[in-house]
Structure 1
Amino acid sequence: MTDNTHQAENEIHEGEIIPPSEIKGNPLSLSPYTKALIKGWEEGVPKPSISSTKISVSQTVSFLAFLYEKMRNAIDFKEEHLIRRASIERIIKRRMLLNENGRDISELLIKELLWARYYENNTIGEEKIGQIQAIIDKYFFIRNEIGAGRSSREQERIASFIIEVMSCEIEENLSPNPRREAFINFAYQLIRPHLAPFDDDVLTRDIQVYIAVERTFSHSDDSLIRYELLKLMLPEITQISWKTADKILPKLYDVYQDIEKNLYHPLSDKIRNYVKKQIPPYLILLDVFNQNPQTIESILADEEKLKNKVDQSCRKRYEETKDRLRRTGIRSFIYIILTKVVFAFILEIPYDLYVVKSISYMPIVINVIFPPALMAAILLTVSVPGDENTRKIFNLIKSIVSINPEDPQLSKNAFVAGKKIKTKSPLFTAMFSALYLFTYLLSFGSIIYILTQLKFNPVSQGIFIFFVTLVTFFAFKVISITQEYLVVDKEGPLTPILDLFFLPVMRVGQWLSGEVLTKFNFLIFIFDFIIEMPLKAIVEVVDEWVHFVRLKKEEIV
């Protein structure tokens, strides 16, 4: 590092904002990929039509639907930016119960999104009704065609795939974001050379890197990744209608199978972990692009201007991370409380009444209080990155905007994801495997022993372990939010000891979250079918009544 660099680092202190006119630094050479990204950024996003008539809904009934969505989303542990797409999928599935092929549901779908305030009232033009219905008709036609003649189980999988990608295209149509795709492609192009192909299979390497970038940079779920891969493998999918879909049907099923195979590739987790470590500077660079769309080229070309912008963005993101951590923690807290209370009434209290013949209040109180208290205690220990992290991010960004990913030198030190780790001896492998198994016995044995001493019955113990494992896993996911911008990895002296106890608990929580809650979440069932269906029917009737009264009033005037 040069003296100039040291001097520049000392010029920016926490809380200080340097006026752009006063910042002058060394020029940076921008790569062709960075220049292409800048050009695409300056073109901006498509502006909505101003002349078209806008769809309007009653704000009176909208509040009720908005309140319901807030409650519903509190029990569905999804990233905030994925909630709207998931709601579109949920609405379509509910409408399918009475309208299997989704005929003429687009207007009601848009109105439901407006009721729930996923979009502001009077912002969606009436022309979108036809566009969205065309998307729905296209995908239901494809579902019926490629599912015909297959087993019922395969038809269900195809239908699920189709509805997921349909909801993604609908959201993209209502709120296009070409800049998102441009930046993801930019990050993908620069990270890709740092991973070696698997057995000389370059295509699979490329797909896996793209999936990893989507998951770590954009926090995309599998539904959105399926859609993005579908567009990459079949670019014409968004341009056709159901009338012209015949030309893609012969290859669509094979593409569907390729997508599913790549989503669950055996090396996907290893690649994602590698890519995740490369992502922090890209997130900050994206902020610099978003905050300075018209002057981004001059900022990137000047080292001191870029340094100032990176410093501002990092400090802002660190503060936002604290807020996001709090919001996510609150949502997790609500989810745990709601689920725990239901468990108490359905399992714990009836077991005490009819089997034990008496209610033991201590286990019930501990089961209600301890899991959220554990979540709060874990979150209180979390801290956000600092100045050292910001300096490293800046140096990485300088490299990112200057480097050419086509440089053959990059592949010489490429990470080999498929490389097998050689163990020192079979004896060590057996010993470590036995030790890992022992950690499970130690963790859960200790918990069961303590609960037994506190007079917990088997059902109360099962509920306690169920929620403690889930809370530990959810807390781990929430903590990962603070590591999103972390380049400097800090590990406390007690971390290995805590990992020894909590790793088995987190593993079980991960399994319960993925294999049990996602498939048997009775709270979601209650909200989606027992509450939502009649509630949305009432909202629809009231909204139509308000519209009818408004028309009659206009006739008088």
Structure 2
Amino acid sequence: MEGKPLSELANSLISVFDEEVPETRDRKISVNPVVSKVASIYEKVRNAMDYRDQEVILRAAIERILKRRTLFGGVAKTIAEPLVRELVWARYFPDESVSESMTARVEERIDLYIKLRHEILAKHLIISEKSLNEWIYHLMSSDVEHTLCPRKKKEYMSNFMFRVMRDNITIIDEGEQQKDIQVFIAVHKSYAKDDLAMLRFHLFNQFLGKLTAENLPKVIENFPEGYREINNQLNYPRKDKIFNYIKDKTVIFFVLEDFLNIGKGGIKQLINDDGEFRRIIYSICEARYAGIASKVRTAIFRSIIFLLLTKALFALSIEGTFESIFYGRVLWTAILINIVVPPLLMAALGFSIKTPDRENSKKIFNYIRAILLSGDPKLANQLSIKTKPDKMKPLLNTIFSFLWIITFFLVFGIIFYVLNRFSFNPLSMFVFVFFLAIVSFLAYRINQVAKIYSIEPRKNVMTSVTDFLFIPFVTVGRKLTDGISQINVFLFLLDFVIEAPFKGLFSFFEQWFLFLQNKREELE
């Protein structure tokens, strides 16, 4: 491989990582360290109550602040500066890392989306106000995050991954444009870890263009059509098939990103030294594998806090009240089991996680070498699908549907039978199954975190048995978790009743500390 030229696409990517980013000399936003410490603790507790992936926590925090400040009559001019300061308080950005000039840019972005919402409502365009509000907050929070925290390297790597993956996927009965859109969505979900809000933002920019004062009238005119098209693309019938294929290859690009950051300034020389290139890729893989245990522990801890703070305490209080009224006493055995089993299940999951082996690292290295050196890299197991999959024979479809229903009743029936043997009352049974389903779903998500660095995960007999036993719980748990998240009254009270005065106190004490500092300076 000595001296073999890189592909044009690889050269373009490497130039971005080799580029020096100039540091701005604008005045930076500084906050009081005491206020910041308290605010960051509050933010950690708040985030533990709302189970989200680490990559979307900043955007979600921005959306939460925007909702609170607009609810209380805020406009762009009165929202921007406090929003940025709150984010620095909570240590989403280090102290003195955000320039004061950034506030004006954030204000401009917020103002554009407020105008967009106002004009769409005034023109009575075909979209409900509730849906429009959700969209505007999604777009606005995503745009503000991109303004405050532009991720140029991440965007270039996403584009590089898109260019590689699109040539390894074929949708037989669709055009290239449809395939490109779905690959774009899958790449941003799997590699960039974009949530629904960020996906809408990226697709909005693709279909309607980046929102500016100049193109605002055109965006308003085309918004209904863009809204429908984006929804259609996000609900494309074969999206999961494409996403799962791309997700299994995403580790290649995570490791490549690490390599480009490590080799900055001498990337091409490292690639031409096959032995050193291989050694670095293998060491990056090992470091990534070592981080799995830490990520899993964090995910397990957050899941347990999520359960206890947002659901368990509420549900168990109802269970205790029910038993006191109808049985004259609290059945502590059932309550204890309901408290202990979910954390134990999470802990058991942590001990069962296995890290990938050296063969996995070898595959990653070979893929990385291929995509850097080949002008048209082809990955193994290329994907070819149809919009409408081949229909299963009616008899087989009926049999499998019947077996799926039987599986549900069998699995849940066994659980209810065992609980009945332990003298659980009907409500205690419901609470147990309720939490078991939610924990199963959270455990499934944690397991996906652990598998993220395994390229083309192998399936075996145990995988099939596990799927048979747990998929019913995972399916129900997902529905419950999504549904409860929509009606989490405690979070609503926390965000709009408690957080507003709490952040007001932060602002007051920060100004008080600044006043005291000025007084001390007058004495010197």
- TM, length-normalised to structure 1: 0.89
Residues 1:417 and 1:346: Cα distance change in structure 2 (over 3 Å):
farther
Do 2:300 and 2:350's aligned partners in 1 also have CA atoms closer than 8 Å?
Answer: yes
Deviation of 1:345 after TM superposition, in Å, equals 4.8
- Aligned-pair Cα RMSD in Å: 2.3
Other-structure match for 1:306 = 277
CA deviations 1:151-175 (Å, max 9, x no partner) are 8971221221122121122122222
Deviation of 1:414 after TM superposition, in Å, equals 5.0
Other-structure match for 2:233 = 262
Select 1:35's aligned residue among 2, 7, 11: 11
Counting only pairs closer than 5 Å after superposition, residues 488-503 of structure 1 correspond to structure 2 as 489-503=457-471
- Write out the 4+ residue segments of structure 1 that deviate beyond 6 Å after TM superposition: 409-413
Deviation of 1:263 after TM superposition, in Å, equals 1.4
Other-structure match for 2:384 = 415
Other-structure match for 1:8 = none
CA deviations 1:461-499 (Å, max 9, x no partner) are 111111101101101111111211112533454332222
**Stretches of structure 1 lacking an aligned partner (at least 5 in a row):** 1-24
Aligned length: 524
Do 1:184 and 1:214's aligned partners in 2 also have CA atoms closer than 8 Å?
Answer: yes
Deviation of 1:512 after TM superposition, in Å, equals 1.4
Counting only pairs closer than 5 Å after superposition, residues 310-459 of structure 1 correspond to structure 2 as 310-405=281-376, 415-418=384-387, 420-423=389-392, 425-459=393-427
Deviation of 1:293 after TM superposition, in Å, equals 1.7
Select 1:477's aligned residue among 425, 445, 449: 445
Other-structure match for 2:484 = 517
Select 2:34's aligned residue among 51, 54, 60: 60
Residues 1:107 and 1:100: Cα distance change in structure 2 (over 3 Å):
closer
Counting only pairs closer than 5 Å after superposition, residues 462-473 of structure 1 correspond to structure 2 as 462-473=430-441
Residues 1:413 and 1:352: Cα distance change in structure 2 (over 3 Å):
closer
| Secondary structure at 2:454 match in 1 | coil
In the alignment, does 2:178 pair up with 1:204? yes
Aligned equivalents of 2:473 and 2:316: distance in 1?
Answer: 25
**Stretches of structure 2 lacking an aligned partner (at least 5 in a row):** none
Deviation of 1:553 after TM superposition, in Å, equals 3.5
CA deviations 1:196-215 (Å, max 9, x no partner) are 23633321211111100111
Do 2:174 and 2:387's aligned partners in 1 also have CA atoms closer than 8 Å?
Answer: no
Do 2:438 and 2:481's aligned partners in 1 also have CA atoms closer than 8 Å?
Answer: yes
Do 1:363 and 1:456's aligned partners in 2 also have CA atoms closer than 8 Å?
Answer: yes
Counting only pairs closer than 5 Å after superposition, residues 67-82 of structure 1 correspond to structure 2 as 67-82=41-56
Identity %: 31
Do 2:248 and 2:457's aligned partners in 1 also have CA atoms closer than 8 Å?
Answer: no
Residues 1:363 and 1:526: Cα distance change in structure 2 (over 3 Å):
farther
Deviation of 1:234 after TM superposition, in Å, equals 3.6
Do 2:76 and 2:108's aligned partners in 1 also have CA atoms closer than 8 Å?
Answer: no
Select 2:257's aligned residue among 286, 290, 300: 286
Other-structure match for 1:14 = none
Other-structure match for 2:95 = 121
In the alignment, does 2:472 pair up with 1:504? yes
Other-structure match for 2:24 = 49
Larger CA deviation: 167-176 vs 470-479: 167-176
Aligned equivalents of 1:153 and 1:99: distance in 2?
Answer: 23
CA deviations 1:509-546 (Å, max 9, x no partner) are 111122x1221223422432343222112112211222
| Secondary structure at 2:173 match in 1 | coil
Aligned equivalents of 1:227 and 1:149: distance in 2?
Answer: 22
Counting only pairs closer than 5 Å after superposition, residues 72-221 of structure 1 correspond to structure 2 as 72-150=46-124, 154-197=128-171, 199-221=173-195
Aligned equivalents of 2:442 and 2:140: distance in 1?
Answer: 29
Other-structure match for 1:535 = 502
Paired letter, 2:468 = L
Larger CA deviation: 225-234 vs 430-439: 225-234
Paired letter, 1:533 = A
Residues 1:503 and 1:341: Cα distance change in structure 2 (over 3 Å):
closer
Paired letter, 1:506 = V
Aligned equivalents of 1:357 and 1:534: distance in 2?
Answer: 41
Aligned equivalents of 1:493 and 1:252: distance in 2?
Answer: 49
Aligned equivalents of 2:38 and 2:324: distance in 1?
Answer: 38
Paired letter, 2:496 = F
- TM, length-normalised to structure 2: 0.94
